[in-house]
Amino acid sequence: MIVTPALRHATAGAAVLLFVLSVPTTAASAPVAPASPASAASAASAASSVAEPTPPARSFVDPARLDRSGTQVQPLRGAPRLPSVSALSWVVADAGTGEVLAARDAHRPLPPASTLKTLFALTALPHHDGTERHTVSDAELTGIGEGSSLVGVKEGYTYTVSDLWNGVFLSSGNDAVHVLAAMNGGWESMTRQMQEKARALGARDTHVVSPDGYDAPGQVSSAYDLAVFGRAGLQDPRFTRYCSTRYADFPAGSSSFGIANTNRLLTGADGVSRYPGLLGIKNGYTSNAGNTLVVGARRGARTLVVSVMNPQGGGGLAVYEEARELLDWGFDAAGRIQPVGSLKPAKAPRKEAPLPVRAAARNVTRAGAEAADATTPAAPVGHDRHQQATPSGKAAGLPLALVGSALGAALSLWLWRRFGARAD
């Protein structure tokens, strides 16, 4: 085959064009002078000055520690001595962080008495505005346990929802609980709702049978769960307002009468000194449960929650004095205690998609890749394909297309000159 000058020129032009197009367009147009050792050291120093500082090492908290029996505490240098209390079970925790500072038999299942009303309030409070008015029916007051504490709710009387909550928190009124439960789906429905709420909060020891806390077979909670409920309640302004109210007027038809909170640490009744900064929460008592108590207190920017279940000595008021000692210890131990657990629910592990779903996703990805231009390189994860210096996709095939076109044009010109002229 004779190569004409036209073909040689076309081939040379195509080669030049190929060389030009193969040069990356992102190359720097001006030469960069090599950095001197001094400037390199200066750049390294500047980079290190703006880098994110290394966070302090986090102390390890054994998640199973609170499952152990006995007292759990990890004091640091200078920590105050933990008080000796007689309660079967107790917890001291930071209400802000959820850190458990110390505990004894935190998950021991015990009857909660009226401290279970904390869970009732967490479940039912969001459903009705405090100003809503409700007239009580006879059916709503049936089934109240014998010997229950009552606030004095009467059939046919009209109360605001706020009045009923005062009856729950201040007088521990089981009659008020029954009315509010009826307004929220009924007794059985409320039992199920409370159980679901407990699990959602990470409280695994609580089994609800009677929403008012009245003794019932199988009904238990734990010092850990009660601390969880108390902490959650303090995050709700309505809950906090009700549980920290010392005195209120309760309607009685055309008149009213005064009621006082039965939490002695809050009111200072019966010779129990009021605790500074106390936020209340809930106390309880039954012959089966003994005395139980959940309290919160604030000192400065710190809030603690303490739960105490069934003290074994000191009489009926010992639950308040033991809670006082544990609160004092918790505030004094600030910064000098390693936590032994947390009131926050454990995070659920991330679930992978089922194998058939993942296989289908891989097939779709593979099919898409096969349909793409074979010259397209894969983009790095997390980077935009358009930010790469290397040409990709159709852009990568552009030089070959131009060369092919140039060669085709040159060949056509040569054939025309050789054969087309003879045909004339």
Angular region, 110: left φ>0, alpha ψ -120 to 50, beta rest:
beta
- In the chain the first and final C-alpha atoms are separated, in Å, by 22
Q: CA-to-CA distance for 265 and 256, rounded, in angstroms? A: 26
Residue owning tokens 């499952």: 67
Task: Establish whether 256 is a catalytic residue.
Answer: no
- Helix (H/G/I), strand (E/B), else coil: 379: coil
Q: CA-to-CA distance for 226 and 106, rounded, in angstroms? A: 10
The one catalytic residue among 114, 149, 162, 307: 114
Gyration radius of the chain over CA positions: 38
Task: Establish whether 114 is a catalytic residue.
Answer: yes
The one catalytic residue among 148, 149, 171, 172: 172
Task: Establish whether 254 is a catalytic residue.
Answer: no
The one catalytic residue among 117, 171, 210, 307: 117
Output the CA torsion sign for 112, 113, 115, 117: positive
User: Which of these, 297, 275, 257, 91, lies nearest to 173 by C-alpha position?
Assistant: 257
Residue 100 CB neighbours (<10 A) = 26
180 touches 121 (CB < 8 A): no
Report which secondary-structure segment, H or E, holds 191.
Answer: helix 187-200
List residues with catalytic annotation: 114, 117, 172
